[in-house]
Amino acid sequence: MELNNKNFDAVVVVEGKDDTAHLKQFFPGIETIETNGSAVSTETLALIKKVAQKRDIIVFTDPDFNGERIRKIVTQAVPTAKQAFVTRKEAEPEFSGSLGVEHATRAALERALADLHETTKSSDLTFEQYRKLGLATSSSSRKLREDVGVKLGIGYANGKQFYKRLVMFGINFNELRQTVSEVENGK
């Protein structure tokens, strides 16, 4: 996928004008729909649904609670929406402020928009397997989820949401087990 001007056919759903301005700085032809916060108005949702009838939608929100809330609302409305993620580290502001897509480098944005994830219904992963891999209910689970999320390119989420995300993207038990092993062994 070419990430510039007319070659980028998808419409990217972002949280606000700072995200749009930052993306346009690197990809001048990119088109966005701004949710203007985590409430996501019915008008904005209707617009996203209408655009999704003719073009691909990419949800690209901040790696925080509000970003996840928006991602869930938009994905429920448009199940075919593709998902782009920056890591929490990539979204950190240089000085102060909250995490945001608007703080990511060009390289991080290019990686996120090239490594899109789609919803699927085929995963053999059970919550028990997920838990046994150490991704839930242990003191080191948070860090492990964060590292596995980076390696898989699916971002960070709390224990329950991360499991749902793995299943949603069709990541099976063997793939997850291999990824956890690589993370634990520093590969």
* 135, 180 contact by CB (below 8 A): yes
Structural domain spans, the chain: 5-114, 127-184
Alpha helices in 93-171 (DSSP H): 106-114, 127-132, 141-152, 159-168
Exposed/middle/buried for 99, CB within 10 Å: 0-12, 13-18, 19+? Answer: buried
* pLDDT value for 121: 67
What pLDDT band is residue 8 in, cutting at 50, 70 and 90?
Answer: low
pTM assigned to the model: 0.80
What pLDDT band is residue 138 in, cutting at 50, 70 and 90?
Answer: confident
**Topology classification of domain 5-114:** Dna Topoisomerase Vi A Subunit; Chain: A, domain 2 (3.40.1360)
Q: Is the pLDDT of residue 157 over 90?
A: no
3-state class (DSSP) for residue 3: coil
3-state class (DSSP) for residue 90: coil
* pLDDT value for 181: 95
Best CA proximity match to 121, nearest among 72, 51, 49, 170: 170
* pLDDT value for 144: 95
Summarize pLDDT for 168-178 with one digit per residue, the tens. 888 999 999 99
What pLDDT band is residue 120 in, cutting at 50, 70 and 90?
Answer: confident
Q: Is the pLDDT of residue 94 over 90?
A: no
**What is the rounded CA–CA span in Å between residue 8 and residue 140?**
39
Which position has the token pair 């948070």?
142
